[in-house]
Amino acid sequence: MKLQGAHVVVIGGSTGIGFAAAKLAHQEGADITIAGRSQEKLALAQRELGEVRTVAADITNEAAVEQVFEGISRVDHVVVAAGTIVNGRIVDNDLANLRRIIDERIWGVTYVVRHAAPRMSRGSITFTSGGLSSRPRLGAAMLTAALAGVEALAPALALELAPVRVNAVTPGLIDTPLLYNTYGSERDTIVQNRAAILPGKRIGTAEEVAQAMLMFMTNDYITGTVLHIDGGGRYV
């Protein structure tokens, strides 16, 4: 069990990629803390995972992020998988929506690092970006900028926080509840169309992204790396 005795904190750990990462780390022997906005989803996750600590917290609220780490004397690994998908043109989108993107993806990561790093002597922090960082699309300029910012933070913080290792995963289209929340009734059509042009003719799973996160936790020689997990999607 590669993570026996380690304490892993997963922000956005109640569903999707974060939940899959928490599950894999738990199976490898880690003590788990998961944080998310929905108490109901946290309760469902806890029921499936078993003996894990849960904290209701919005990553955009620094006081709430501080509470996630309250009472924890040592943190070994952190995964940040929180973040919604908000689209809309910069010129006519509501400014509150645009600010929410930056608050989640940039300031949220900042809050996590500020409260996790003092409790870490080694170990790893893993961020989650997204394929829009390198393949922008119409109406997602602010999200593209924020995701690219997350990827830039990983190598910069790998130097700043060393010997704590900092990496990022950049998923392509992944089969998680976020797809339904974002695309609604168009979800199946979008998945089918995207899968048809990918080399493997399918989209990814949360577990496949979580496997990369587990690798970042357990491989002590990987830091400052941004890993694309997109089925080759950035090439087609």
Residue 67 lies in a domain: yes
DSSP string, 56-109: E--TT-HHHHHHHHTT-S---EEEE---------TTTS-HHHHHHHHIIIIIHH
- In terms of phi and psi (left: phi > 0; alpha: psi -120 to 50; beta: otherwise), the region of 138 is beta
Q: Is residue 128 in some structural domain?
A: yes
Residue 88 pLDDT: 82
Is 157 part of any domain?
A: yes
Q: Any residues with CB less than 8 A from the CB of 158 and at least 6 apart, and which?
A: 165, 166, 167, 223, 224
Residue 129, pLDDT above cutoff 90: yes
- Residue 233 belongs to a domain: no
Domain count, the chain: 1
Extract the tokens encoding 181: 């929340």
pLDDT above 80 (res 180): no
The verdict on residue 155 lying in a domain is: yes
54 inside domain: yes
Q: Provide the CATH number for the domain around residue 127.
A: 3.40.50.720
pLDDT tens for 184-233 read 888 899 899 999 999 999 999 999 999 999 999 999 999 999 999 999 99
What is the C-alpha separation between 230 and 200, in angstroms, rounded? 10
Task: Give per-residue pLDDT as tens, 99-124.
Answer: 999 999 999 999 999 999 999 999 99
Contact 66, 115 (CB under 8 A): yes
Does residue 164 carry a pLDDT above 90? Answer: yes
Domain extent, residue 222, equals 7-228
Q: Which two tokens stand for residue 155?
A: 């190598």
Q: Backbone phi, then psi, for 166, in 5-degree steps? A: -130, 125
Is 88 within a domain?
A: yes
Residue at 234 is within a domain:
no
